[in-house]
Amino acid sequence: MKNRIGIRLENKNIWEKRVPIVPNDMKDLIEKESIDFIIQSSEIRAFKDEEYREIGVSVTSGIEEADVIFAIKEIPLPVIEAQDSPKTYIFFSHTIKGQKHNMPMLKKIMEKKATLIDYEKVVNEKGFRLIFFGNWAGLAGMIEILWGFGQRVKTNKNVENPFLKIKHTWEYETLDDARKAVSEIGKEIIEKGLPEELVPLVVGFAGYGNVSTGAQSMLDFLPIKEIDPTELIDFYKQKEFSSNHVYKVVFKEEHMVEPIEGEFDLQHYYDHGEAKYRGVFPQYFPFLSILINAIYWSDKYPRLITKNFLKTQFESGKDVRCQIIGDISCDIEGGIEATLKTTKPDNPVFIYNPFTDEATIGLKGTGIAIMAVDNLPCELPVESSTSFSETLKPFVPMIVAADYSQPFAELDLPPVIKNAVITHQGKLTPNYKYIEEFDTFKDV
């Protein structure tokens, strides 16, 4: 069987310019695999319609003729509703944790007896994602966080600082331009030092996966000295700080939680989460200037930072050192409970007031700044799409060749793809039957 692939336009917001398969990779798939593509016309996509026409792809206003539809973000309900035959959809569905805002979409996909494959669940035997934007979220997010830090320090403390020279990620022509800008700030720190009000400047990373690695790679253009989490408190006691360096601390699970009984065991923590572990990360928070949240979180795990903890920090009357939390993971009221809303690239920061439990877009006000852009890779659309397409490309021939009219048990897909099938022929597949137990699913 040979399915026809449709590439959907992205229209969740004006910032979403990414595409799952870039022209060069599509050209290879056409020539080497004889795959038939159609692509929905878009005025904002980072790769123009003409670039696809030049490789012989049909660019149309609609892709109803496609059997398999690739996208990046969630597909709107009316688009799914309009389909007159079961389709196979592949996109980041944000449904596997029972996310309330996407349950109607999931139900509609099931009603249409369609197949849903989620990029997020294409993982290897160790659970590592094989198709992802995570590192690009980290890269783009780190730039926005440095921008927000510089602006908040100026607004909140009236301190001039070199980070005021940072622009929003999307304002740089290329990723290299952004790297050069951070490098220039690094040189300034080496030559002139940081303002004394910011010394020591300590950046904490919660997590060490793709998102964290991407963010760290951008920060590393500054003059970095790394501190082990277990040495952070002693570091402050010794008071041997350098104004010519930025200090980096990377926290792993064993630093963020502790077992209620017994010794820490990573797999045991993954399996039992909050039931048998408690969060201990707040002990490090007072020593951080910037906190970057790059962890996967669900409600089975302790939160990294709670609203109550932030309230106690600001109630103490002390000058809270941490000026901004960069919540790259961006789970609403999740690992960072104070992340009440998401933000957009042109206004990436809000101030969380722990006394009123309110979020106000901008840089002014009582509380802590939180950067919460939920689609950071779209700020680097060419580079992130090219990288994503490269990782997706090997799986495309197998996806397009499958016969989706077969029962799930007989569906001929490689295990890494089959394990990512959320729904098939109107039913949740065995791996995802648990979604039926969420109230968010039942209430739709």
Q: What is the pLDDT confidence band of residue 128, given thresholds at 50, 70 and 90? A: confident
Q: What is the pLDDT confidence band of residue 257, given thresholds at 50, 70 and 90? A: very high
> What angle separates helix 210-219 from helix 175-192, to the nearest 10 degrees?
50
Q: What is the DSSP track for 404-442? A: TTS-GGG----HHHHTTEEEETTEE-GGGGGGGGSHHHH
Q: What is the mean pLDDT of residues 163-185?
A: 97
> Is the distance from CB of 105 to CB of 81 less than 8 angstroms?
no
Q: What is the DSSP track for 125-178? A: TTS-BSS--HHHHHHHHHHHHHHHHHHHHHHHH----GGGG---GGGSSSHHHH
Per-domain residue ranges of the chain: 4-122+383-442, 134-379
Q: What is the pLDDT confidence band of residue 356, given thresholds at 50, 70 and 90? A: very high
Residue 241 has pLDDT above 80, yes or no: yes
Same fold, 4-122+383-442 and 134-379: yes
pLDDT, mean over the chain: 95
d(CA 214, CA 207): 11
pLDDT of 67: 94
pLDDT of 146: 98
pLDDT of 299: 86
Q: 168-196: b or e for each residue (b if 16 or more CB lie within 10 Å)?
A: bbbebeebeebbebbeebbebbeeeebee
d(CA 269, CA 252): 12
Query: How many CB atoms lie under 10 A from the CB of residue 441?
Result: 17
Task: Tell me the CA end-to-end span of the chain in Å, nearest whole number.
Answer: 35
pLDDT of 316: 72
H or E element that contains 225: strand 224-226
Q: What is the mean pLDDT of residues 335-353?
A: 97
Q: Is the peptide bond before 229 cis (omega within 30 degrees of 0)?
A: no
CA angle 273, 277, 281 (to 5 degrees): 105
Q: What is the mean pLDDT of residues 172-189?
A: 97
Q: What is the mean pLDDT of residues 261-290?
A: 95
pLDDT tens by residue, 279-338: 999 999 999 999 999 998 888 999 999 999 999 999 977 789 999 999 999 999 999 999
Q: 265-300: b or e for each residue (b if 16 or more CB lie within 10 Å)?
A: eeeebeeebbeebebebbebbebbbbbbbbbbbeee
Q: What is the pLDDT confidence band of residue 155, given thresholds at 50, 70 and 90? A: very high
Structure-token pair, residue 237: 């006691």
Q: What is the mean pLDDT of residues 347-352?
A: 98
Could you tell me which of 188, 180, 141, 140 has the C-alpha nearest to residue 163?
A: 188
Structure-token pair, residue 425: 């022929």
pLDDT of 348: 98
Q: What is the mean pLDDT of residues 142-153?
A: 98
Tell me what percent of the residues of the chain surpass a pLDDT of 90.
Answer: 91
d(CA 141, CA 254): 25
pLDDT of 21: 98
Sign of the CA dihedral running 103, 109, 112, 115: negative
> Is the distance from CB of 290 to CB of 204 less than 8 angstroms?
yes
pLDDT of 361: 97
pLDDT tens by residue, 170-179: 999 999 999 9
Q: What is the dihedral of CA 339, 340, 345, 346, to 10 degrees?
A: -120
Which homologous superfamily is 4-122+383-442 in? Answer: NAD(P)-binding Rossmann-like Domain (3.40.50.720)
pLDDT of 134: 83
Q: What is the mean pLDDT of residues 230-239?
A: 95
CATH code, residues 134-379: 3.40.50.720
pLDDT of 298: 86
pLDDT of 84: 84
pLDDT of 12: 87
Q: 28-47: b or e for each residue (b if 16 or more CB lie within 10 Å)?
A: ebeeeeebbbbbbebeebbb
pLDDT of 296: 87
Residue 1 has pLDDT above 70, yes or no: no
d(CA 304, CA 294): 11
pLDDT of 250: 98
pLDDT tens by residue, 78-127: 999 988 889 999 999 999 989 889 999 999 999 999 999 999 999 998 88
Q: In the chain, what's the furthest Cα-to-Cα distance?
A: 69
